[in-house]
Amino acid sequence: MDIQSSLKKLPSVEKVLEDERISRRVTLLSRKGITAIVRESIDRHREALLNGSVDRIGERDIASAIADEVSAELDALSVTGVRRVINATGVVLHTNLGRAVLAAETCAAIAAAASGYVDLEIDLKSGKRTERGLRVARLLSLITGAGGAFVVNNNAAAVLLAVQTLAGAGAVAISRGELVEIGGSFRLPEILALAAARVIEVGTTNRTHRKDYEKAVRDGATLLLKVHTSNYRIVGYTNEVSLVELAEIGREHGVPVMYDQGSGVLYPLRTRGIEGEDSIETVLESGVDLVCFSTDKVLGGPQGGALVGRSDLIARMKENHLSRALRLDKLTLAGLERVLLDYWNGRFDEIPSLRMITESIESVRERAVRIAARLKESCARDIGVAVEESESSIGGGSFPINPLRTAVVQINLASDQAERFSAILRAGSPSVLTRVKGCSVIIDPRTIRTEEEGILIAKLAEGFGIFSGGSD
Ligand SMILES: *Cc1c(COP(=O)(O)O)cnc(C)c1O
């Protein structure tokens, strides 16, 4: 009846810990944590009683409600690993889904490095200590034609290290049109403020000229930085200083020029009809001193950031103590080396992200037709399925205005049911991520691996079952 008597019915921590579902979870290292979780649950219930969001409750109800809650939380904690997702969105390098997918051979190289000791920092011939990552750096230099290369934890780290090394005691100049925010919380102004003693913003949002950079050099710039604006474009009354021209300015005044290319295009995608992005080799030919990029975007490797360019500048970055804090581990190096070897040996189709990006619309359509047919077969009731033309996106801030033509399976539903159906698919295991367009759920085969098709069909059919059951 009154709150006081209800509060008295709250169980003690000890009492909840006696519940078999909870007591069997208690180990040497989980006892404290489980006790804390129990206390939090009791506190929540006390709070609910005090603020009136719950009425009086019976003694047994409240004790079992708390045990249920704690038990569910412990269950959730014990589910090991990340949840597997089937990416039907057609966004190849989806940062929220972990960007590039690696080939089985790359995964095997990572597993081999993980399960044993490796020659990470030792030359097995001489028995002497060496630097880590030398083979990866050598391959990167050879493939891109750079004088030197260095790899760190990600591209944000590469920018941080380069700017700190070359402008930590000086100033970095950057166009106001390139002070960008890129997905995954990469905000260039913040990184530059951390790394450089001084940031000299040049030009305006839409127009930057040669004379602006030249003034920055007179004002003490020790690094000229150009950044790929990745996920947006400034159009209309605009002007930017080209890489070639910026490299010229740098050479004239003896100031290094760096380009943050971002996506890491090693393969000349133009030759496969994908316009909009030069390869790193071509970028270096423009005369810039340094280029940095992610290794898990278009390059298609594990997470990392590469710096390629003038060997004397690379050497300075290696000497910077910051590089110790940004270094890569043996697993990433093993995986990255494997992917770079695929490039070196011309085995481009072995690199999943590259294969997805370059797959022709005809080939994607074949798969869409097959998925649509299998889906119709496995669903009891008639469903509206069609194969339509659409657009995939490379993602990861790459090729923002150059979507890829694709073919998709379009599942047409009654009005406002598409969001609901896609939520059911998302909550499954494995989860299936789709696009929603009006009344349709869109499945883009471009980012679905052939071996995932069977489980995808099963999940879609199962989803329909829940869906029609729930909506009747
Ligand atoms: C993606 C991107 C970054 C950030 O790279 P991370 O590897 O995610 O740290 C920086 N600059 C550009 C131009 C990018 O496209």
Average pLDDT, the chain: 93
Given 3.20.20.110, 3.30.530.20, 3.90.1150.180, 3.40.50.720, which CATH number is that of 85-93+359-471? 3.90.1150.180
d(CA 392, CA 406): 6
Is the model's pLDDT at 7 over the cut of 90?
no
Using CA positions, which residue lies closest to atom 14 of ligand 1? 262
- pLDDT band of residue 472 (cuts 50, 70, 90) is very low
* pLDDT recorded at residue 469: 63
Closest alpha carbon to 464 in 432, 169, 445? 432
Tokens 């340094």 sit on residue: 290
Select from 161, 192, 260, 292 the residue to mutate for testing ligand 1; criterion: most ligand atoms less than 8 Å from CB. Answer: 260
* pLDDT recorded at residue 141: 98
Instruction: Give the number of the atom of ligand 1 that is nearest the alpha carbon of residue 159.
Output: 10
Closest alpha carbon to 91 in 103, 100, 78, 83? 100
Using CA positions, which residue lies closest to atom 6 of ligand 1? 155
pLDDT tens digits for range 441-464: 999 999 999 999 999 999 999 988
CA atoms within 13 A on the CB side of 375: 25
Q: Which long-range contacts (CB under 8 A, 24 or more apart) does 361-366 make?
A: 361/389, 361/405, 361/406, 361/407, 364/392, 364/406, 364/407, 364/444, 364/445, 364/446, 365/407
pTM for the whole thing? 0.92
Residue 72, classed as helix, strand or coil, is helix
Q: Is the peptide bond before 430 cis (omega within 30 degrees of 0)?
A: yes
Q: Convert 115-128 to b/e letters by CB count within 10 Å (16 or more is b).
A: eeeeeeeeeeeeee
How far is ligand 1, taken at its centre, from the CA of residue 104, in Å?
25
Instruction: Determine the residue type at 221.
Output: A
pLDDT tens digits for range 381-402: 678 899 999 999 998 766 666 7
Measured N-to-C along each axis, helices 311-319 and 155-167 cross at an angle, to the nearest 10 degrees, of: 90
Using CA positions, which residue lies closest to atom 15 of ligand 1? 262
Instruction: Give the number of the atom of ligand 1 that is nearest the alpha carbon of residue 396.
Output: 1
Using CA positions, which residue lies closest to atom 11 of ligand 1? 262
How far is ligand 1, taken at its centre, from the CA of residue 51, in Å?
47
Is the model's pLDDT at 186 over the cut of 90?
no
What mean pLDDT comes out for the span 92-104?
95
pLDDT tens digits for range 295-309: 999 999 999 999 999
* pLDDT recorded at residue 361: 96
The DSSP result for 217-260, as a single string, is HHTT-SEEEEE--TT----SS-B---HHHHHHHHHHHT--EEEE
How far is ligand 1, taken at its centre, from the CA of residue 74, in Å?
36
Q: Which long-range contacts (CB under 8 A, 24 or more apart) does 358-363 make?
A: 358/269, 358/272, 358/274, 359/446, 361/389, 361/405, 361/406, 361/407
- pLDDT band of residue 60 (cuts 50, 70, 90) is low
Contact 333, 136 (CB under 8 A): yes
Collect all residues with Cβ–Cβ distance below 8 Å to 81 and sequence separation of at least 6. none
* pLDDT recorded at residue 55: 63
Query: 78 versus 407: which is more confidently predicted?
Result: 407
How far is ligand 1, taken at its centre, from the CA of residue 329, in Å?
19
**First vs last Cα of the chain: how many Å apart?**
41
pLDDT tens digits for range 169-185: 999 999 999 998 886 67
pLDDT tens digits for range 202-258: 999 999 999 999 999 999 999 999 999 877 778 888 999 999 999 999 999 999 999
For ligand 1, residues with CB inside 6 Å are 154-156, 182, 184, 186, 227-228, 230, 260, 262-263, 294, 305, 396-397
Using CA positions, which residue lies closest to atom 1 of ligand 1? 262
* pLDDT recorded at residue 184: 64
How far is ligand 1, taken at its centre, from the CA of residue 262, in Å?
5
* pLDDT recorded at residue 398: 65
Is the model's pLDDT at 471 over the cut of 60?
no
Closest alpha carbon to 305 in 161, 185, 193, 178? 161
Given 3.20.20.70, 2.130.10.30, 3.40.640.10, 3.40.50.720, which CATH number is that of 104-350? 3.40.640.10
For the chain, give every domain's residue range. Answer: 3-77, 85-93+359-471, 104-350
Is the model's pLDDT at 79 over the cut of 90?
no
* pLDDT recorded at residue 468: 73
Instruction: Give the number of the atom of ligand 1 that is nearest the alpha carbon of residue 398.
Output: 15
How far is ligand 1, taken at its centre, from the CA of residue 119, in Å?
30
Using CA positions, which residue lies closest to atom 12 of ligand 1? 262
How far is ligand 1, taken at its centre, from the CA of residue 362, in Å?
31
